[in-house]
């Protein structure tokens, strides 16, 4: 069964200072209801939209980064529909049916050696927020907070080029990294990204899943929907063309109540905003200002630092991680050893914390940690223990090390004593080790365990080998 | 262009305007009359015409500088609760 | 103290006397209010009056006494069409939907005029949301034509025009989407200018059809029109559609006359008009010739499509602009609690008058899927075609003249039942809006006691030329502009 999946992604431009069409603050989060509004974003009679040119620049940067074609002139359209979160009962957006009005179109993005085509990238305004005091069905009225109304959104629409939810996830990872590198959208902020997904099986009707609230949920929603459609196939039921939404608590898609066919958006050019002439000068200057993007950064990591493709990919997937890695490198020049931490132990903490910046750890910590291991001051196992503590406490590794008195036991005499003790206790294992070389590892583990990880593994192994050899002769 | 009552009813719904039966009758006639007048545009050949669109250099648009609104915007709101605007129910 | 009739004098004269301290602003404003009290029951020009006007007048008088520098319109009474936002006064658009609405901000033109010392004395009547040609479609009152109170004053800026003609103000502001300044100026025998699109800020003008309309001055003399225009032009950071042009003193060149100018009389605009109108405008053309202008008849073939193009675009934009009136955030309040939202919106929006509802529905029609190409897009192409035809004419001609209105002011109620017939009266005014050129209507003559207006059009930003020609014409024409 061939499946086609397309995405329609909305990202708030959290990097802006003001809204898309007025000077209210772009950062509406945490403000008292309707404390971030003005006559323009409340749509009062007689007000006119005032286009934020930085929003235009940001969307242009993204369009360039996703290899889109840029028209000479971009323009805005009105999408007309009634809804209580929409102050003007129309949304100012862009529209390509009558002319190319959007900032980017016809782009391509490569990810994991695959390609997806970008249909368009456009700018539009976010609506306000509806609040129901006692649930949507039972409330006698709705409360509206317009603080979000007019915040700049970028809409990114792909062609239906995906055929596997895993690829969707990889693509979204890449998109997030590009957005982070451009500094246009902090995808980690609550509500900063939303995704609509459309799925159609070959020769079957298209199903849309609206408003998946985070990129992480997209893959799950797709997996569910595909299996739902497959089970329909098995039962011989036809898949309807419909709009569904993702219930992230019950982890299922549900049919939406609003009927799409009743909508007729009556798009027409926004008369209050003249078309914006971009010109080569702007494009050239933005191209010059373009920061290093994830692909280039990955290549640099591979070529300059000798990292594996896989490790480089993990590092650049999140800009903060890559930045952190490079900052650590400035303090201690061992790319391979430092990168190893990011792709193993530290990665677990990063994922748990939803980003490295949420941890207490600083680049100097990682630099020092690697240095201590390289100088054989601590064992790798001890370093792992120290890491566990410093991500939470923010203490320097050397401080933790001293507190633990965790200096690696590399004193031969002391270790011989411990090895002797283990041999005395583990007589069966010793017998095994005489027959089977691999059983040595068990004894090594016991020694390390009894020193709480402080025994130098190299030296200990050597000592165990010597002792086995001396017994066997 | 013929315009039917059903069409006008649908248009009124799209515009969230209520028309009673009598109004619907009158409006349908008037809408048809006016739309038929607009059909005079069919008489003219417009294929070679490219709509002229005013464009301004992007630099003329607004700088990204936040400003707090000094206008007492909420003074226009009649129905509110704890600073929220009160709207009708959604279901 | 000198003796001058403060009710009929020009703003230019009054402001001179105020600045010299010869006229007390307080007395002048009070006199206007007294006169309003006397004639309003016949004229019905105002929706609301400004209680603070007298106080502002006193401020001007004390500024005069202190010898402070005064603005260009210090102390001058100005009536403002009630679709232009004023922060201390209701702005109703003559609609039930905004009956008690007080905007929290001033329109840019209001800020500019107040900075020059003008005093808003009241907000004038209009057709609901400026949709009409007679001011009969105000939801509050029918404004009467001061020259014959059985007749319409024209519209939609009927209140502004009538208040000038009745001596109820010295200056007025109107807005013109398809002739709404020029039509009532013509019907009430006053001067009305629709400036070049983008010359005056629309910030604070409640939108009817954004791409067509503009605020403009309405006055009893061409000189006052120039004086007022001086105060309201310029790029506004609150309106992206304003043009980057320097402010000018339009009075500086006003006496330069029309000698040597090439003027075209537009055949399509005069061919099917009332015979009195036709004769009067032909006479006016001869007057320009006698002043030394070269006059020819010109033809603009695409004008036959102008009305269909204009109404398609105006209604499309209106249907979208007026969507915001849903009774939730501001305006009419019908108590949303308990209503399902769609039925609340429908209930609220049924308070629009018939004219507005019909235009919203037709605007919705021409934009709806499947019809965009057939109507809206075609209308825009016709607009471009008309623009091209005018542009090529302006290569040869400095100015174009025509009647402002094809007919004389008609009786109240005469045309209200037939919307299409009513639209046809806009036939000569809409072209200027479609292509964004300036157009002025000036009093031309009276026939059987009813005024006829002359329309003068010029290329983009040719206001100086328009005003020069209008002034030259006014100088040799003795037409009454006020009846007190």
CB A325 within 8 A of CB A338: yes
Has residue B91 been placed in a domain? Answer: no
Return the residue of A nearest to C370 by Cα. A266
Question: Of C19, C72, C81, C123, which residue is the catalytic one?
Answer: C81
Give dist(CA A176, CA A218) in Å, integer. 13
The Cα-based distances of A16 to A21, A24, A130, A289, C137 in angstroms read 12, 11, 23, 17, 45
Chain A positions in Cβ-Cβ contact with residue C104 (cut-off 8 Å): 39, 44
Rounded Cα gap, residues C76 and C60, in angstroms: 10
pLDDT on residue C181: 98
> Is C346's CB within 8 Å of B71's CB?
no
The pLDDT value given to residue A313: 94
Q: Average pLDDT of A366-390?
A: 89
Asked if C156 is an active-site residue, the reply is yes
What is the least distance, in Å, from the CA of C123 to any CA of chain A? 16
Residue A163 CA to residue A222 CA, distance in Å, equals 11
Instruction: Check CB contact of C244 with chain B, cutoff 8 Å.
Output: yes
Residue B15 located in a structural domain: yes
| Count of CB pairs separated by less than 8 Å, A with C | 106
Q: In this complex, which chains have at least 3 CB pairs below 8 Å with chain A?
A: B, C
The DSSP annotation for C354-402 comes to: HHHHHHHHHHHHHHSTTTIIIIIIHHHHHHHHHHHHHHHHHHH-SEEEE
CA dihedral A437, A438, A440, A441 (to 10 degrees): 160
CA distance A273 to chain B (A): 9
Q: Is B38 on the interface with C (CB under 8 A)?
A: yes
Are the beta carbons of C367 and A266 separated by less than 8 Å?
yes
Residue in chain B nearest A89 by alpha carbon: B15
Partner C contacted by B90 (CB < 8 A): yes
- Of A106, A39, A27, give the one whose Cα is nearest residue A68: A106
Give the number of other CB atoms < 10 A from CB of residue A240.
12
Write the CATH number for B19: 1.10.20
Q: How far apart are the first and last CA of chain C?
A: 22
pLDDT at C456: 98
CB contact (8 A) between residue C323 and residue A82: yes
- Which residue in C278, C318, C310, C302 sits closest to C405, CA to CA? C278
Which pLDDT score is estimated for C394?
Answer: 98
Say if A268 is an interface residue toward chain C (CB within 8 Å).
yes
Q: Which of A285, A304, A323 is the last residue of a domain?
A: A285
For C326-354, how does the pLDDT look when each residue is reduced to its tens digit (9 = 90+)? 999 999 999 999 999 999 999 999 999 99
**Closest chain C residue by Cα to residue A87:** C324
d(CA C20, CA A87): 50
Distance in angstroms (rounded) separating the CA atoms of residues A304 and A327: 15
Among A84, A88, A146, the residue with its CB nearest the CB of C341 is A84
The CA distances from residue C362 to A342, C8, C358, C371, C392, in Å, are 63, 43, 6, 11, 33
Residue A143 near residue B86 (C-beta atoms within 8 A): yes
* C345, C375, C384: residue with CB nearest B52: C384
Query: Do both A193 and A267 map to the same domain?
Result: yes
Same domain, A258 and A353: no
- Do the Cβ atoms of B79 and C305 come within 8 Å? no
C291 pLDDT band, cuts 50/70/90, is very high
| Any domain includes B32 | yes
Closest-CA residue of chain A to C336: A141
Q: B66 and A141 in contact by Cβ < 8 A?
A: no
Mean of the per-residue pLDDT values of chain C: 97
pLDDT at A473: 67
Interface test with C, best of A48, A55, A91, A133 (most C CBs within 10 A): A48
C387 has catalytic annotation: no
* Chain mean position to CA A119: 22
Of C156, C163, C201, C441, the catalytic one is C156
Average pLDDT of the segment spanning A446-453: 79
Best CA proximity match to C119, nearest among C60, C164, C177, C37: C60
Mean pLDDT score, A374-397: 87
Closest Cα of chain C to B49: distance in Å?
A: 6
Question: Is A137 a residue whose pLDDT tops 80?
Answer: no
* pLDDT higher than 70, residue C56: yes
Band of the pLDDT at A406, cuts 50, 70, 90? low
- Asked if A132 and A139 count as a contact pair (C-beta separation under 8 A), the reply is yes
Question: How far is Cα A446 from Cα A438, in angstroms, rounded to an integer?
Answer: 14
At A18-32, the pLDDT tens digits run: 999 999 999 999 999
Token duo for residue A276:
């914006």
Distance CA A238, CA C255 (A): 81
Q: Exposed, middle or buried: residue C194 (CB in 10 Å: 0-12, 13-18, 19+)?
A: buried
Residues A316-339: what's their mean pLDDT? Answer: 94
Q: Sort out which chain A residues have CB atoms less than 8 A from B57's CB and list them.
A: 276-277, 279
CA angle A161, A164, A168 (to 5 degrees): 70
HSE (CB half, 13 Å, CA atoms) of C480?
14
- Residue A351 and residue A429 in one domain: no
Q: What is the pLDDT of residue A114?
A: 94
CA terminus-to-terminus distance, chain A: 66
Q: Is B63 on the interface with A (CB under 8 A)?
A: yes
Q: Within a 10 A sphere around the Cβ of A295, how many other Cβ atoms? A: 17
CB contacts of A273 in chain C (<8 Å) are 240
How high is the pLDDT of residue A388?
86
Set of chain B residues whose Cβ sits within 8 Å of the Cβ of A276: 55-58, 61
The tokens for A396 are 């320097």
pLDDT tens-digit map of B46-66 = 989 998 888 999 999 999 999
Unique residue bearing structure tokens 């004008």: C303
Provide, as residue numbers in chain A, all residues whose Cβ is less than 8 Å from the Cβ of C237: 50
Range C84-109 average pLDDT: 97
Beta strands C294-298 and B80-81: pairing type?
unpaired
Within 8 A by CB and 6+ apart from C378, the residues are B41, B42, B46, C309, C312
- C-alpha distances in Å from residue A137, one per residue of A23, A264, C344: 36, 26, 17
- Are A51 and A179 part of one and the same domain? yes
> Which domain range does residue B27 map to?
5-42
Do A467 and A423 contact (CB within 8 A), yes or no?
yes
Look at residue C2 in the predicted model and tell me its pLDDT: 56
- Residues 6 or more apart whose CB falls under 8 angstroms from that of A342 comprise A311, A314, A315, A321, A324, A325, A350
Tell me how crowded residue B79 is: count the other CB atoms within 10 A of its CB.
18
Number of domains in chain A: 3
CB C463 within 8 A of CB C229: yes
Is there a contact between A75 and B56 (Cβ–Cβ < 8 Å)?
no
| Mean pLDDT computed over every residue of chain A | 91
Contacts of A274 in chain C (CB under 8 A): 240-241
Q: Which backbone phi and psi does A186 adopt, to 5 degrees?
A: -90, 95
Token pair for C332: 């009419």
Residue C357, pLDDT score: 97
Could A82 and C91 be called an inter-chain contact, meaning their C-beta atoms sit closer than 8 Å?
A: no
Considering only the beta carbons, identify the residue of B64, B80, B89 that sits closest to A140: B89
What average pLDDT does the segment A296-311 reach?
Answer: 95
Binary contact (B11, C420; C-beta < 8 A): no
Do residue C362 and residue B14 have CB atoms under 8 angstroms apart?
no
3-state SS, residue A98: coil
Q: Please write the tens of the pLDDT for every residue from C368-383.
A: 988 999 999 999 999 9
DSSP letter (8 states) at residue C17: H
Q: Give A457's pLDDT tier (boundaries 50, 70, 90).
A: confident
- Please indicate whether, in this complex, the C-beta atoms of C93 and A45 are within 8 angstroms of each other: yes
**Taking CB atoms and an 8 Å cutoff, what residues of chain B touch C377?**
51
Count of A-B CB contacts under 8 Å: 128
Residue B80 in contact with partner chain C when CB distance is under 8 A: no
In a domain, B90, yes or no: no
A30 and A49 together in one domain = yes
Contact A271 C210 (CB under 8 A): yes
- The answer to whether C76 and C118 are in contact (CB under 8 A) is yes
Residues C147-171 have a mean pLDDT of: 98
- Complex ipTM: 0.97
The candidate with the shortest Cα–Cα distance to A150, out of A74, A86, A224, A227, is A86
Of the three residues A404, A437, A462, the one that is the final residue of a domain is A404
At C366 the pLDDT is 97
The segment with the largest mean pLDDT, out of A390-399, A405-414, C29-38, is: C29-38
Q: Give tens-digit pLDDT for A190-217.
A: 999 999 999 988 877 889 998 898 888 9
- CA distances C277 to A138, A334, C270, C295, Å, are 65, 93, 8, 18
**Structural domains counted in chain B:** 1
- By Cβ distance, the residue of C344, C379, C387 closest to B41 is C379
Q: Which chains have 3+ CB pairs within 8 A of C? A: A, B
Look at residue A214 in the predicted model and tell me its pLDDT: 85
Low-confidence ranges of chain B (pLDDT < 50): none
Question: Inter-chain contact B40–C305, Cβ cutoff 8 Å?
Answer: yes
- Residue span of the structural domain in which A449 resides: 412-472
Name the pLDDT band for A107 (thresholds 50, 70, 90): very high
Task: Give CA–CA dist B37/C311, Å, rounded.
Answer: 10
B91 part of contact set with chain C, CB < 8 Å: yes
Check residue A257 and give its pLDDT.
67
- Kindly give the residue spans of alpha helices, DSSP state H, lying in C233-305: 267-270, 275-290
Distance from CA of C350 to the nearest CA of B (A): 5
Which pair of structure tokens corresponds to residue A466? 């010597």
Reported confidence tier of residue A242, pLDDT bands at 50, 70, 90: confident
**Residue from the list A45, A98, A141 with its beta carbon closest to the beta carbon of C337:** A141
Across-strand partners of B85?
A144, B80
CB distance A39–C239 less than 8 Å? Answer: no
Q: What is the DSSP letter of A429?
A: H
Spell out the domains of chain C, with CATH numbers in brackets.
11-260+404-415+438-475 (3.90.1300.10)
Q: Rg of chain C over CA atoms, in angstroms?
A: 21
Arithmetic mean of pLDDT, C7-32: 97
Q: What is the DSSP string of A254-284?
A: EE-SS-GGG-----EE-TTSPEEE-HHHHHH
Active site residue C211: no
pLDDT band at A259 (very low <50, low <70, confident <90, very high): low
The secondary structure of residue A184, as a DSSP letter, is S
Domain termination site, one of A245, A262, A285: A285
Strands of the sheet with A141-145, listed across from one edge = A129-131, A141-145, B84-88, B80-81
Q: Is A254 exposed, middle or buried (0-12, 13-18, 19+ CB in 10 A)?
A: exposed
pLDDT tens digit sequence for C65-92:
999 999 999 999 999 999 999 998 999 9
The answer on pLDDT for A59 being more than 70 is yes
Q: Are B60 and A277 in contact (CB under 8 A)?
A: no
Whether B17 is in a domain gets the answer yes
């Amino acid at each position: 069964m061939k499946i086609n999946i397309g995405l329609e992604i909305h990202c708030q431009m959290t990097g802006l200072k003001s809204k898309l069409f007025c000077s209210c603050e772009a950062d509406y989060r945490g403000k008292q209801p309707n404390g971030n509004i003005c006559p323009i974003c409340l749509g009062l009679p007689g007000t006119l939209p005032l286009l934020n040119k930085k929003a235009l620049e940001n969307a242009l940067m993204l369009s360039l980064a996703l290899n889109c074609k840029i028209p000479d002139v971009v323009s805005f359209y009105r999408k007309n529909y009634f809804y209580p979160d929409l102050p003007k009962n129309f949304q100012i957006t862009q529209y390509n049916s009558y002319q190319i009005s959007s900032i980017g179109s016809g782009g391509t993005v490569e990810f994991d050696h695959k390609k997806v085509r970008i249909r368009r990238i456009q700018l539009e305004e976010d609506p306000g927020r509806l609040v129901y005091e006692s649930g949507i069905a039972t409330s006698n009225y709705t409360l509206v907070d317009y603080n979000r109304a007019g915040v700049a959104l970028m809409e990114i629409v792909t062609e239906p080029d995906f055929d596997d939810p895993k690829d969707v996830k990889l693509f979204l990872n890449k998109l997030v990294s590009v957005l982070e590198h451009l500094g246009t959208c902090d995808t980690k902020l609550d509500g900063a990204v939303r995704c609509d997904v459309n799925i159609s099986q070959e020769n079957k009707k298209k199903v849309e899943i609206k408003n998946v609230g985070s990129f992480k949920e997209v893959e799950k929603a797709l997996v569910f929907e595909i299996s739902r459609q497959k089970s329909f196939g098995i039962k011989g039921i036809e898949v309807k063309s419909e709009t569904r939404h993702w219930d992230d608590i019950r982890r299922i898609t549900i049919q939406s109540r609003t009927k799409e066919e009743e909508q007729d958006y009556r798009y027409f050019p926004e008369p209050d905003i003249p078309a914006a002439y971009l010109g080569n000068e702007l494009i050239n200057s933005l191209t010059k200002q373009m920061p290093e993007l994830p692909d280039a950064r990955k290549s640099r990591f591979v070529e300059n630092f000798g990292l594996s493709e896989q490790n480089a990919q993990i590092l650049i997937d999140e800009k903060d991680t890559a930045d952190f890695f490079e900052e650590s490198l400035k303090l201690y020049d061992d790319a391979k050893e430092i990168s190893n931490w990011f792709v193993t132990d530290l990665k677990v903490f990063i994922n748990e914390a939803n980003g490295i910046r949420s941890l207490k750890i600083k680049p100097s910590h990682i630099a020092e940690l690697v240095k201590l291991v390289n100088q054989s001051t601590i064992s790798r196992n001890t370093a792992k223990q120290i890491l566990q503590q410093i991500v939470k406490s923010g203490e320097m590794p050397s401080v933790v090390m001293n507190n633990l008195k965790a200096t690696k036991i590399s004193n031969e005499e002391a270790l011989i004593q411990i090895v002797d003790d283990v041999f005395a206790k583990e007589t069966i294992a010793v017998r095994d080790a005489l027959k089977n070389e691999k059983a040595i590892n068990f004894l090594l583990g016991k020694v390390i365990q009894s020193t709480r990880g402080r025994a130098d593994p190299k030296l200990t192994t050597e000592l165990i080998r010597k002792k086995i050899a001396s017994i066997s002769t | 262009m013929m315009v039917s009552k059903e069409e006008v009813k649908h248009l009124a719904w799209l515009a969230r305007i209520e028309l009673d039966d009598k109004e619907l009758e009158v409006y349908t006639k008037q809408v048809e009359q006016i739309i038929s007048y607009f059909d005079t545009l069919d008489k003219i050949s417009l294929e070679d015409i490219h709509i002229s669109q005013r464009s301004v250099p992007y630099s003329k648009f607004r700088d990204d500088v936040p400003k707090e609104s000094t206008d007492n915007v909420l003074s226009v709101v009649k129905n509110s609760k704890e600073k929220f605007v009160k709207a009708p129910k959604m279901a | 103290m000198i003796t001058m009739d403060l009710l009929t004098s020009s703003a230019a004269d009054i402001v001179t006397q105020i600045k010299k301290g010869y006229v007390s602003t307080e007395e002048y404003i009070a006199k206007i209010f007294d006169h309003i009290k006397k004639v309003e029951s016949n004229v019905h020009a105002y929706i609301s009056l400004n209680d603070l006007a007298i106080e502002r007048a006193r401020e001007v008088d004390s500024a005069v006494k202190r010898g402070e520098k005064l603005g260009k319109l210090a102390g001058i009474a100005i009536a403002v069409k009630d679709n232009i936002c004023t922060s201390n006064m209701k702005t109703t658009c003559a609609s039930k939907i905004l009956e008690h609405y007080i905007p929290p901000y001033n329109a840019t033109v209001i800020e500019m005029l107040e900075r020059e010392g003008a005093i808003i004395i009241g907000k004038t009547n209009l057709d609901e949301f400026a949709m009409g040609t007679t001011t009969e479609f105000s939801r509050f009152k029918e404004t009467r034509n001061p020259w014959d109170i059985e007749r319409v004053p024209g519209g939609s800026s009927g209140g502004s025009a009538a208040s000038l003609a009745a001596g109820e103000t010295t200056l007025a502001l109107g807005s013109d989407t398809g002739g709404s300044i020029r039509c009532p100026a013509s019907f009430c025998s006053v001067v009305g200018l629709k400036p070049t699109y983008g010359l005056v800020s629309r910030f604070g003008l409640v939108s009817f059809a954004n791409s067509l309309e503009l605020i403009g001055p309405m006055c009893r003399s061409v000189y006052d029109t120039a004086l007022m225009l001086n105060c309201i032009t310029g790029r506004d950071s609150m309106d992206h559609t304003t043009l980057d042009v320097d402010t000018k003193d339009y009075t500086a060149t006003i006496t330069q006359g029309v000698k040597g100018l090439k003027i075209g009389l537009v055949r399509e605009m005069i061919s099917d008009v009332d015979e009195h109108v036709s004769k009067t405008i032909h006479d006016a053309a001869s007057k320009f010739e006698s002043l030394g202008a070269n006059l020819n008849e010109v033809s603009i073939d695409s004008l036959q499509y102008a009305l269909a193009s204009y109404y398609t675009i105006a209604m499309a934009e209106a249907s979208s602009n007026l969507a915001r009136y849903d009774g939730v955030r501001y305006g009419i309040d019908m108590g949303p609690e308990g209503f399902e939202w769609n039925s609340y919106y429908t209930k609220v929006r049924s308070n629009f008058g018939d004219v507005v509802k019909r235009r919203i529905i037709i605007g919705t029609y021409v934009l709806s899927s499947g019809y965009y190409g057939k109507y809206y897009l075609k209308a825009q192409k016709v607009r471009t075609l008309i623009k091209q035809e005018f542009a090529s004419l302006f290569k040869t001609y400095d100015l174009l003249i025509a009647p402002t209105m094809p007919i004389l002011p008609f009786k109240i109620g005469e045309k209200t039942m037939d919307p299409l017939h009513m639209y046809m009266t806009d036939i000569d005014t809409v072209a200027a809006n479609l292509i964004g050129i300036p157009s002025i209507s000036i009093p031309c003559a009276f026939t059987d006691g009813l005024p006829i207006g002359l329309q003068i059009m010029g290329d983009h930003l040719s206001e100086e030329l328009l005003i020069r020609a209008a002034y030259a014409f006014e100088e040799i024409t003795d037409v009454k502009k006020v009846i007190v």
